[in-house]
Structure 1
Amino acid sequence: MAKPRKKLPARAVDIFCANCKTKLFKYRKGGKGALIKCFVERITEDFTTTPCHCPNCQQEFARETMIRGAPAFKMIGGKVTHK
């Protein structure tokens, strides 16, 4: 399968923990659908201390995986919100 595009999308969204509303990432999201996965190369600011865990409440919000040959975080349903 094809890798994600190298050119980053224009739209940046903030990703928050659904439990404690702590800011987790600033992410360049393509499309208008739900947030299912985050490619690591599209994260512009990372506010987490350990990957896939909220720095405030320590809840796991994603799992590390490879999608189309690129490292990504696969989001767990209902654990994150974005604006």
Structure 2
Amino acid sequence: MAKPNKKLPERSVDIHCGKCKALLYKYKKGGKGALVKCFKERIVEDRTSTPCECPECGNVFARETLVRGAPAYKIIGNKAVMK
């Protein structure tokens, strides 16, 4: 399996909690599709204290997993949204 590109994409997006709209990450997203997963190496700024949990409301918004051999967070449903 091919690993994700080492060169970070140009486009930067903010990822917010779907429940309370608190800022979770600043993320370098590749492509124009929906937010399905976040590779850990592309997260520029992490505002969470515990992984995959909103610091404001405690909502669990993702699961830790390996995607194509790289560590990533797999987003659950609409529990995290990008702007």
TM-score range (shorter-chain normalised) is over 0.9
CA distance in 2, matches of 1:67, 1:38: 10
Cα shift at 1:4 = 0.2
Equivalent position of 1:77 in the other structure: 77
For normalisation by structure 1, the TM-score amounts to 0.99
For normalisation by structure 2, the TM-score amounts to 0.99
Aligned length: 83
Structure 2 alignment gaps of length 5 or more: none
SS in 2 for 1:78: coil
CA distance in 2, matches of 1:73, 1:18: 15
CA distance in 2, matches of 1:59, 1:16: 11
Q: CA RMSD in A?
A: 0.3
CA distance in 2, matches of 1:67, 1:39: 8
> After the TM superposition, which residues 22-37 of structure 1 pair with which residues of structure 2 at under 5 Å, given as runs?
22-37=22-37
